[in-house]
Amino acid sequence: MSVSALHEMLTQMSPHLEKEPYVMLSLPAETVTEEHYRLALATMKEQEGITLVLKERDAKKIKQASCELFRLITLEVNSDLMAVGLTAAFAQTLAAVDIPCNVFAGYFHDHILVPDALAESAMAQLQQLSKTEQVPGQHEI
């Protein structure tokens, strides 16, 4: 069952850090193949091209290079699609310590890409947020 109350989403978010690095690529739509889609964790059609989120090893398989490495954090809480505040809470928490995040959501879970070098710090911040439910600069939730 999905959760919509912010305090419940925060206490139940259970962040999980993937071990492998990921990359984000943008390719012209006409160059994206079935293999690209098969290997991609996520895709987004934009005016400029197709954005692909791939494991670094899969990007190398299809001979696509990227200079930025990310790590994927999945929030295990089954948040309601109409829930309010979860993204703002974790984004503000990470921003308070200068950790950039790229966010996308599936039907059941929220997913966060953070720079590889900052992944462990991001996990610590998210775990702290889950324990305290206290967003930096905000009053108690």
Domains present along the chain, CATH in parentheses? 6-132 (3.30.2130.10)
List the chain pLDDT tens, one digit each, 141 residues.
888 888 898 999 999 999 999 999 999 999 999 999 999 999 999 999 999 999 999 998 887 767 799 999 999 999 888 888 899 999 999 999 999 999 999 999 999 999 999 999 999 999 999 998 877 766 555
pLDDT of 2:
85
Confidence at residue 53, expressed as pLDDT on a 0 to 100 scale: 96
Per-residue pLDDT at 48: 95
* Rounded Cα distance, 123 and 104, in Å: 17
Q: What is the DSSP string of 90-141?
A: HHHHHHTTT---EEEE-SS-EEEEEEGGGHHHHHHHHHHHHHH---TTS---
- pTM metric for this prediction: 0.90
pLDDT of residue 71: 98
Which amino acid, 110?
D
**Predicted local confidence at residue 140, as pLDDT:** 55
